[in-house]
Structure 1
């Protein structure tokens, strides 16, 4: 068993880091403080082909796996951009997977080519205010009409909705009460984000403000038949294709945030002199940072273990969930210790660790909570009765 990156993986890591080096701390601070999408960063990665790393070669993508995407996203977040860097391009790597697997050849050409070229941006409309993680209880409804569907409903925490011109939208086409199983009767669409019919209202939040999150209100949106992905009523099963890759990517992005925070803290500890010696000479500073490194390292390889299983067509649900769980906690711990290492200056924006700290709570909450992950593992791995 050879647990190390291949030369190809190292090349991906270095290439992404070289591009990210064009965007310094001031760039990300400006995007954060002005709530401005990092369009220059997005365009540069699109120009160099990175938005299509997991897309099929027939639409211009690289046709690589989740492992390569994970290495790419870790490089992006650990280079200083944090979750703003990740979330600007994140949906390109997992969101369109249902199109790749279930879309027609015509749909793949029509949708994926401009997406990976950076000519179009997409957002992900699944979560709803009254359903949360109980996806089977969504209420956004697509009513069949001549030539397509008429949609009304609400979505919540829809990222990049302010800049997107496409939306991947999960709806009900059959009421839950009329379905044999609660997972039946949902239909998936990829369609134009028509702002005459869709109101996108920005949510003001703690961190990652360069990439918007939104409440979305849909009122009589017509979606043509040709914008439906796969069969009517099978949408829930289609989005499952994206869940494990999403957990893996969110996990390894968190590791990048944590590692960047620890790197900054270690540098500060070497340079900050108090009582005639660098504070990093004190074990009270050394040990917390070293401990954070060990947790980040172990979670990193858990992410790559899950990615390897996925890419080889093996079951990885438990590993993907565990990777996300461990990574979220390790990143939060690392960012907390980075702020504490800086003392009072950790509270100042100048040293950036406060920005990373604010972002580090995100992977503990989204896209699935720690509690649901533990319930899943208890049931599926440890054989306990379902608790919810």
Structure 2
């Protein structure tokens, strides 16, 4: 990496850290308690131009690399915003990638500036209740009509649907083939039409400030010009967004761990039991030290993956490993912080339980730790496929 590149990363780190920390833990606790979308936070990042971090300058963004965007996501999460703040911003970072690369010029000029400015919020519609991690078996179907398509189906665990104006929606346009199971799916940048899409919010454990939903799609009409790229190739276009997603999620997990670690170390220095700070006890100090080491190592892998992506080199294994390490290190740090606070960790005013609830998600999403191990076993180590 050149000195200029490193300087860019540090400028982004310092600027986004300062901006994110204007919204303290009590802000996020209030949003979590009220199940209220953090629009003030989003607007602050929009005003700074950060929502368009990876959108090219010609379409209203600032054209940064994934490394800078990932550092931004880590700083957001580490500020105490956790996944509530992370999810509110990262949907401007990785979901537009297929549009940037494969969308028509008309589509890019119409929608990317709106995303970069925060005028438009988008959702990302891939997951289905009957398909699980086997995306090839989605049942949402798009049927060709004159001038467009009619889509019917169901999606689940869709973030932002209650607030988004549009959704990047994956649907089958050709029957599944055993020899090419991932062929025959198409990406649509569809309007969130309330007459055709019923939204049912999911009551969940964490990240309450950000809505997560089931979608029931009934005869949603989408025009031909709202197809992203070519028909039947949508899944392959998604891959341009999946590696950035994994790297950003890794950094969010690392940020959550660092937020919890900061709270725990401060508490361990201040909490006096048996006439001494509890941080003087190795049973408290060593787990926190171990978490710092693991978080640093996880960031190293995430930055390696981001470097490869920015250099347009293959980074699937590194991105998957970064997500795995970020989720594990982040969860362990939050769990150890929970133990450091003891019974007080259950009290919301100390913020640990909120971070703990949010970081647990990352062991399962956007894909499970078991699927990471499956991928590395097969694709890196050359072992037989186990699933």
TM-score by length of 1: 0.98
Q: Does 1:74 align with 2:102?
A: no
| Match of residue 171 from structure 1 | 171
Query: Whole-Å Cα distance in 2 between the matches of residues 2 and 20 of structure 1?
Result: 27
| Match of residue 63 from structure 2 | 63
Query: Whole-Å Cα distance in 2 between the matches of residues 18 and 332 of structure 1?
Result: 25
Q: Secondary structure at the match of 1:80?
A: helix
Q: Secondary structure at the match of 1:170?
A: strand
| Match of residue 387 from structure 1 | 386
- 1:147 deviates by 1.1
| Match of residue 51 from structure 1 | 51
- 1:172 deviates by 0.3
Q: Does 1:312 align with 2:311?
A: yes
Q: Deviations over 1:207-257 (max 9, x none)?
A: 001011100000010001111111111111111111111111100110000
| Match of residue 124 from structure 2 | 124
Query: Whole-Å Cα distance in 2 between the matches of residues 294 and 129 of structure 1?
Result: 38
- 1:7 deviates by 2.5
- Cα 1:25/1:100, change in 2 over 3 Å: same
Moved over 6 A (4+): 1-5
- Cα 1:32/1:175, change in 2 over 3 Å: same
| Match of residue 16 from structure 1 | 16
Query: Whole-Å Cα distance in 1 between the matches of residues 138 and 71 of structure 2?
Result: 34
| Match of residue 346 from structure 1 | 345
Q: Does 1:197 align with 2:193?
A: no
- 1:116 deviates by 1.1
| Match of residue 371 from structure 2 | 372
Query: Whole-Å Cα distance in 1 between the matches of residues 5 and 370 of structure 2?
Result: 32
Q: Secondary structure at the match of 2:92?
A: helix
| Match of residue 295 from structure 2 | 296
Q: Secondary structure at the match of 1:323?
A: helix
- 1:163 deviates by 0.6
| Match of residue 227 from structure 2 | 228
- 1:327 deviates by 0.8
| Match of residue 266 from structure 1 | 265
| Match of residue 283 from structure 2 | 284
| Match of residue 358 from structure 2 | 359
- 1:146 deviates by 1.1
| Match of residue 160 from structure 1 | 160
- 1:22 deviates by 2.0
| Match of residue 96 from structure 2 | 96
Query: Whole-Å Cα distance in 2 between the matches of residues 47 and 342 of structure 1?
Result: 37
- 1:315 deviates by 1.2
Query: Whole-Å Cα distance in 1 between the matches of residues 94 and 306 of structure 2?
Result: 13
Q: Secondary structure at the match of 2:167?
A: strand
- 1:314 deviates by 1.2
Q: Deviations over 1:76-102 (max 9, x none)?
A: 000110000100011111101000110
Query: Whole-Å Cα distance in 2 between the matches of residues 339 and 157 of structure 1?
Result: 27
How many residues in Structure 1 have an aligned counterpart in Structure 2?
387
| Match of residue 39 from structure 2 | 39
